[in-house]
Amino acid sequence: MANHKATKKHARQALKRRDRNRYYGKTTRNAIKTLRAAEGSAAKEQLSSVESMIDKLAKKGVIHRNKAANLKSKLAKKVNAATAAA
């Protein structure tokens, strides 16, 4: 366990950050699942908000920027294909 005052504070902050990152990560994963399950115009409306969530995760370093780009690309491709078929 940490012995210095500043190190104890850093450990507390790390726990808070971890919980926050886990929450936002899980929320985004759930949003991606609902987007993949959505059909037609509903998916098109959800796409921008999900892309925004992914961008925020990448900006904060929760996920890598390349992973964020890949996710957004795959989601956009799926939504465009679904709306073109409908």
pLDDT of amino acid 85: 77
* Model confidence pLDDT, tens digit, residues 75-86: 999 999 988 876
Cα–Cα distance, 63 to 30 (Å, whole number): 15
In the block, tokens 């796409």 appear at 47
Q: In the chain, what are the domains?
A: 5-85 (1.20.58.110)
Smallest CA-to-CA distance from 43 within 74, 72, 67, 75 is with 75
* Model confidence pLDDT, tens digit, residues 6-65: 999 999 999 999 999 999 999 999 999 999 999 888 899 999 999 999 999 999 999 999
Smallest CA-to-CA distance from 68 within 76, 46, 20 is with 76
Global pTM value: 0.85
pLDDT of amino acid 82: 87
Q: Measured at the alpha carbon of residue 57, what is the angle toward residues 73 and 81, in degrees to the nearest 5?
A: 20
